[in-house]
Structure 1
Amino acid sequence: MRDQTDELTRKLRELAASAAPGSGIDVARAVRDGRVRLRRRRFAALGTVAAVAAATAAVSLLPAGGDRAPRPAPAATRASAAPAPDPDPLVVEASYGWLPANFDSVSYLPDHGRTVVRADSRVRDGGVMGPMVWLKVYPAGTTPSTGRLFYQGGPRQYRVEAPQVDGRPAYWVGRSPTAAEAPGGDWYLRWQTADGRWAELQAGYLEGTDAQRILHRIAEGVIVARRAIPLPYRISGVPAGLRLFEATFLRGQQMVPEDHVPWTSSINFLADGMHIGTTIEPDRPESAKSAADALGNGHTRSTCIRQHGLKLCTESLNGVDAYRSVGGPKAWLKRFTLLGTNQRDWTTDVLG
Structure 2
Amino acid sequence: MAGLTEAPSPESTVDVALAVRTGQVRLRRRRLAAVGAAMAVVLTGSAVLSLRPSGAPAPAAPTVSASPSALPSTAPQPSGGAAAGAAPVTAAPVNGKDPLTVDADFGWLPAEANAVHYQLSPYETTVRGESADSIGPRLTLKVFAAGVVPDAGKSPLGAMGVRQDVAPVNGRTAFLVTAAGDHRNGALYWQGPEGRWLELYFLYLSGADSDQVVHKVAEKAVVGRHSVPLPATFTQAPKSFTLSSGSFERENIRGQQWWTMQLNYAAGPGQYFSTTITPDGERPDPHPEITDRPPAPLGDSDPGTCRSENGLKVCVRVAQEKSMLDPVGGPAGWLSKVGLLGMDETRWTTDVLP
TM-score normalised over the length of structure 1: 0.69
Q: 1:50 to 1:111 in 2, by over 3 A?
A: closer
Q: 1:73 to 1:303 in 2, by over 3 A?
A: closer
- Answer yes or no: is 1:94 the counterpart of 2:99: no
Q: 1:67 to 1:295 in 2, by over 3 A?
A: farther
Following the alignment from structure 1 to structure 2, what is the Cα–Cα distance between the partners of residues 189 and 51?
28
Checking the alignment, whether the CA contact within 8 Å between 1:117 and 1:134 is kept in structure 2 is yes
2:281 to 280, 284, 288: 284
Query: What does residue 166 of structure 2 align with?
Result: 162
Q: CA deviation at 1:222?
A: 0.9
- Answer yes or no: is 1:131 the counterpart of 2:137: yes
Q: CA deviation at 1:119?
A: 2.1
Q: CA deviation at 1:204?
A: 2.0
- Report the secondary structure of 1:330's partner residue: helix
- Report the secondary structure of 1:217's partner residue: helix
Q: CA deviation at 1:34?
A: 7.8
Query: What does residue 201 of structure 1 align with?
Result: 200
2:44 to 48, 52, 55: 52
Q: CA deviation at 1:116?
A: 2.2
Following the alignment from structure 1 to structure 2, what is the Cα–Cα distance between the partners of residues 305 and 326?
16
Checking the alignment, whether the CA contact within 8 Å between 1:160 and 1:180 is kept in structure 2 is no
Checking the alignment, whether the CA contact within 8 Å between 1:155 and 1:175 is kept in structure 2 is no
Q: CA deviation at 1:50?
A: 3.1
Q: 1:250-265 maps to which residues of 2 (within 5 A)? A: 250-252=249-251, 262-265=258-261
Q: CA deviation at 1:88?
A: 1.2
**Structure 2 unaligned regions, length at least 5:** 1-24, 53-86, 286-293
Following the alignment from structure 1 to structure 2, what is the Cα–Cα distance between the partners of residues 249 and 344?
17
Q: 1:110 to 1:350 in 2, by over 3 A?
A: closer
Query: What does residue 124 of structure 2 align with?
Result: 114
2:150 to 144, 153, 157: 144
- Answer yes or no: is 1:268 the counterpart of 2:264: yes
Checking the alignment, whether the CA contact within 8 Å between 2:262 and 2:276 is kept in structure 1 is yes
**Which structure has the greater CA radius of gyration?**
2
The RMSD of aligned alpha carbons is 3.8
Counterpart residue identity of residue 263, structure 2: I
Counterpart residue identity of residue 29, structure 2: V
Query: What does residue 343 of structure 1 align with?
Result: 345
Query: What does residue 186 of structure 1 align with?
Result: 185
Q: CA deviation at 1:73?
A: 5.3
Q: CA deviation at 1:169?
A: 1.9
Query: What does residue 330 of structure 1 align with?
Result: 332
Checking the alignment, whether the CA contact within 8 Å between 2:89 and 2:106 is kept in structure 1 is no
Q: 1:242 to 1:52 in 2, by over 3 A?
A: same
Q: CA deviation at 1:287?
A: 12
TM-score normalised over the length of structure 2: 0.68
Query: What does residue 69 of structure 1 align with?
Result: 90
